[in-house]
Amino acid sequence: MPDADIATGTTRRRVLQGLGAGALTLGAGRALGADVRLPLPSDPRDRPMTGAFPQKGSMILQRTRPPLLETPFEVFDQGVFTPNDRFFVRWHWAVIPESVDAAAFRLAVRGNVERPLSLSLEDVLNLPSVELAAVNQCSGNSRGLFEPRIAGGQWDNGAMGNAKWVGVRLKDVLDRAGVKAGSVAVRFNGLDEPVVPDAPDFMKSLDLDHARDGEVMIAYRMNGEQLPLLNGFPLRLIVPGWYSTYWVKMLSDIEVLDKPDESFWMKTAYRIPDTPHASVRPGETGFPTVPINRMVPRSWFTGLANGAKVKAGASAPLRGIALGGDRGVKAVDVSTDGGATWAAAKLGADEGTYSFRRWTFDGAAAPAAGGKLEALVRCTNADDVVQPILQPWNPGGFMRNGVETLDLTAA
């Protein structure tokens, strides 16, 4: 059992939970008891559930320190927005501030700018605010499902979440500092730090034009509340349509660069093959790479899980969520003949280009005589990018988006 023994010694946390959030289980030092078996292709598949993390409900424990907490998939059936207390958590380095003083916090804007800034949270709150729904998905979401398997965080599909973010445009903040001519990129750093001094601090950067597109924002609210500490309180970069690796948490430093970012997490880590579908053969070497970037379309079944029983002779109540990636969801289609023919699912409310979108489908007839029913679901985005039937492979285990299959039994 990975990290089954959370050493708490944290009576204070339990007190906090007990007083502050009725939903949290008191004294959940180790686990809520209901351990899960993830549908990974090989062992180890078992994970403990935990309720021991501040501001978090019941989560799948992937790693205690620094925390990797996965959202149990049933949460995605409950609505297109992911509650803050069930939103996945992912940190690279274990030096994470446990306290953040909202009055003393400062966001630095520096580098190749006319006027370096040190903004208080009040300064940030006083800028014009914008709101946007966007999915935050880990680059390595679903890595554990790849075959051949790949070292790294062994996530099932729950390293993602959708929220309504409120904040200020990064562009407005950069304009206040005055980006100097000759700038090419903007680098972002948060309050977290490596455990050893010379190790690479976690920083990410965006091209200047992307940083100034008016959509990239600095969020201070998530689903109507301030951000949970583990999701980046007090400020988090929101990069709509791009993988979570760019969504720097506890954002405290913005540096305008006059040359491309050569630091580790851009130049060496989080790279994908520069090939169609970022696809290479397992073991292949010598291909060019680029930093991971835009998300690709995905769709999932929710409600019914593999092996579920449905009524023979009736239409199976298929439903789920879809994500367009860096463009909106154009269509969701379902196939019950292994992908030979597809029929359109009904789309739910449009919450915006970067949000999850609900879908339902009532045309999947479970055989009257009983037996198996296999359904496939596929999303097409507004750029006509379609999910592939066969899952491509890359050595980082990134960008998984193959068509999902649901196996049902009619009885």
Partner 1 sequence: MQISFGTVAFGVVVAAALTLAIVGSPDERGRRQVAETRAAAVAAAAEAAAPKTASADGVTLTSVSFTLPTSDREYPAGPHADAINGNCLSCHSAGMVLTQPELSRAEWQGEVNKMVKVYKAPVSPEDAAAVVEYLAQLKPGR
**Which residues here bind ligand HEC, judged by CB under 6 A?**
92-93, 151-152, 195-196, 199
- The interface with partner 1 within residues 195-234 (CB under 8 A) comprises 195-200, 220-221, 225-226, 228-229, 233-234
Name which of ligand HEC, partner 1, none residue 104 binds, using a CB cut-off of 5 to 8 Å depending on partner kind: partner 1
Compute the distance between CA of residue 232 and CA of residue 190 in angstroms, rounded to an integer: 9
Nearest to 289 by CA among 166, 394, 132: 394
On whether the CB atoms of residues 343 and 332 are closer than 8 A, the answer is: no
Neighbouring-strand partners of residue 226: 221
* Cβ nearer to partner 1, comparing 31 with 332: 31
Specify the residue for token string 């790693």: 63
Nearer to partner 1, 100 or 108 (CB): 100
Residues 40-69 that bind partner 1 (CB under 8 A): 40, 42-47, 50, 52-55, 61-67
Nearer to partner 1, 84 or 183 (CB): 84
Among 5, 74, 258, 274, binds partner 1 (CB under 8 A): 5
3-state secondary structure of 362: coil
Out of ligand HEC, partner 1, none, what residue 186 binds, judged by CB under 5 to 8 A for its kind, is none
Q: By C-beta, is 26 or 195 nearer to ligand HEC?
A: 195
Question: Smallest gap, in angstroms, from Cβ of residue 96 to ligand HEC?
Answer: 12
Q: Between residues 68 and 280, which has the closer beta carbon with respect to ligand HEC?
A: 68
Structure tokens at 264: 């580790």
Residue 84 CB, nearest distance to partner 1 (Å)?
Answer: 9
Q: If contact means CB under 5 to 8 A according to the sort of partner, which of partner 1, ligand HEC, none does residue 45 touch?
A: partner 1
Segment contacting partner 1 by CB under 8 A, of 123-131, 247-255, 313-321, 331-339: 123-131
Choose the contact partner of 301 out of ligand HEC, partner 1, none; CB within 5 to 8 A by kind: none
146 vs 246, beta carbon nearer partner 1 = 146
- Could you tell me which of 80, 34, 73, 71 has the C-alpha nearest to residue 303? 73
* Paired residues of 392 in beta bridges: none
- Site for partner 1 contains 82 (CB under 8 A): no
Q: Is residue 169 within the footprint of partner 1 (CB under 8 A)?
A: no
Residues that bind partner 1 (rule: CB under 8 A) add up to a total of 76
Find the farthest-apart pair of alpha carbons in the chain and give their distance in angstroms, rounded.
Answer: 74
> How remote is the C-alpha of 77 from its chain's centroid?
16
Select the binding partner of residue 176 from ligand HEC, partner 1, none (C-beta < 5 to 8 A, by kind): none
Q: Is 7 in the site for partner 1 (CB under 8 A)?
A: yes
Out of ligand HEC, partner 1, none, what residue 34 binds, judged by CB under 5 to 8 A for its kind, is none
Residue 130 interacts with partner 1 (CB under 8 A): yes or no = no
Residues 6 or more apart whose Cβ sits within 8 Å of residue 327: 241, 353, 381, 382, 383, 385
Site for partner 1 in 341-360 (CB under 8 A): none
* Environment class of 115 (CB within 10 Å of its CB; exposed 0-12, middle 13-18, buried 19+): exposed
Residue 42 binds which entry of partner 1, ligand HEC, none, CB below 5-8 Å type-dependent: partner 1
- In angstroms, what is the minimal distance from the CB of 273 to partner 1? 18
- Of 103, 340, 349, 369, the one binding partner 1 by CB under 8 A: 103
**How open is the CA angle 345-348-349, to the nearest 5 degrees?**
150
Position of tokens 């597809």?
342
- Transcribe 46-77 into DSSP letters: EE-EE--STT--SEEEEETTTTEEEPPGGGGG
Please give the DSSP secondary-structure letter assigned to residue 391.
P
What distance, in Å, lies between the first and last C-alpha atoms of the chain?
A: 35
Of the candidates 301, 276, 292, the residue with the CA atom closest to the CA atom of residue 385:
276
